[in-house]
Copies of this chain bind each other. A is one copy, B any other.
């Protein structure tokens, strides 16, 4: 792409200025539509060192109300961020619906730099490209406008700029080592950039190469493409997209109806206490070891209301060093969370390497409550199985151990526990009208849960059913599964 890019004809100064004024006006008018129609706009500005990325962003935002844009200058990931998956740094930054986000270099910069420095193997590179393609597709599938610019200048022009900046003591600091290195290895950089651009040139999030020779001309090209992109995206709000086939290895799972909840799934008190002690001790040891080995662990809990998730989680955490784990109770999303990709609030809650994150309810809300209550479109939740498998694949590739529990009881047991809560004053806070309403939809939930378990039990992030009519049995089973999973990786 970059290699056979043709320089567009530069308009004459007068025409350029009048077109620039028109484009600025257009963007100024569009921003209100972006806000009203809740379009999230992510503008990624990449390019050669000294091509003027920062300046361009500075100019572009002048036409936008400061309340509806953000600029993210993506420095190299911090030490903290390096303890998170590759895309964390970027997923965390995605804009809210109705807002612009400008990124001064991002995942392209990171990956191509890694390539040029020989820090990324060919295999890792291929994986990253796949991750990036999934990331960008998930954004556009979920209604994001993603506009990607590459600011292009020739080797000669770059050299001139570096020299000019260098001559003046006040601007010398702006010449980075990387800029100089790029200029000395221009052809090699070109190869790496060209390949990256080709391999990530998605039809729904295409690359635009910008002739960055002069400032006003750069700005005009960017404004023209940006405003055009916004027009098209506004036309397409809430568009359905084709559903992709699962490409991940799936485990065969039983239907809920086929799971026995009989006497065999109970434990005697004595056995329970003994096992609990033994397993908690073992888990504590393992927690120390995974902390040292920097393995991240994600434990996800879903289950029927009153199935005993809370007590089950408690038995796990009792064994853990509080400095090394976190429980994330997940309620309905806050407005700022609802305004972003539904996985955003989970991406931003990921543990650091060596830490355990426990989720009390999870991203699977998308295919359960959001599906059944109509909080998202059919296309949204049907797409989500694949999106979630991709999300968990990202975590697994990062090295995370992922354990997902469905805490299971039957309908009668739930009724007994609901009545008990209702009739016991100190437990009454635990039962709400919503619980009763959900109970009425038991059969619909069962269909949704079955589909979820069938479609998202991947080999790298399988579901485990915890039979919890006898809560003690479920707790011991959970502990055993966690201990075994950790033993496998340590």
Contacts and interface: CB of A to CB of B under 8 A. Distances in A.
Interface string A221-263: 0000100110010011001111111111110100000000000
A239 B236 contact: yes
A317 interface: no
Contacts of A207: 245
A6 B205 contact: no
A118 interface: no
B245 A206 contact: yes
Given A137-B203, A203-B204, A239-B239, 5 more contacts: A5-B247, A205-B242, A228-B382, A229-B243, A236-B240
Interface of A: 1, 4-6, 8-9, 137, 141, 202-209, 225, 228-229, 232, 235-236, 239-250, 252, 379, 382, 454
Contact of A242 (B5, B206, B248, B252): B206
Contacts of A246: 6
7 closest residue pairs by CB, A with B: A235-B240, A232-B240, A6-B249, A6-B250, A208-B245, A206-B244, A236-B240
Contact of A248 (B6, B240, B454): B6
A203 B203 contact: yes
A204 B229 CA distance: 18
29 contacts: A5-B247, A6-B248, A9-B252, A137-B203, A202-B203, A203-B203, A203-B204, A203-B242, A203-B244, A204-B204, A206-B242, A206-B245, A207-B245, A208-B245, A225-B245, A228-B243, A228-B382, A229-B242, A229-B243, A232-B240, A232-B241, A232-B242, A232-B379, A235-B239, A235-B240, A235-B379, A236-B239, A236-B240, A239-B239
Nearest to A249: B6
A228 B8 CA distance: 43
B249 A243 contact: no
Contacts of A205: 242
Q: Which label, helix, strand, loop or mixed, suits the secondary structure of the A interface?
A: loop
A306 to B, nearest CB: 30
Nearest to A225: B245
Contact of A241 (B5, B137, B203, B243): B203
A207 B249 CA distance: 17
Nearest to A145: B242
A204 B243 CA distance: 9
Contacts of A203: 137, 141, 202-204, 241-242, 244
A209 to B, nearest CB: 7
Q: Which of A4, A6, A204, A229 has the most CB of B within 10 A?
A: A6
- Number of copies of chain A assembled together: 2
A219 B202 CA distance: 32
Contacts of A240: 232, 235-236
A249 B4 contact: yes
A135 to B, nearest CB: 13
B232 A4 contact: no
A208 B454 CA distance: 18
A350 B141 CA distance: 37
Nearest to A247: B1
Contacts of A241: 203-204, 232
A311 to B, nearest CB: 33
Contacts of A236: 239-240
A239 B379 CA distance: 16
A206 B386 CA distance: 13
A248 B204 CA distance: 20
Contacts of A248: 4, 6
A141 B137 CA distance: 16
A108 to B, nearest CB: 16
Contacts of A245: 206-209, 225
A462 to B, nearest CB: 13
Q: Which of A137, A202, A203, A206 has the most CB of B within 10 A?
A: A203
A236 B229 CA distance: 18
Contacts of A249: 4, 6
Contacts of A244: 203, 206
Contacts of A247: 1, 4-5
Contacts of A454: 9
Nearest to A458: B6
A463 to B, nearest CB: 14
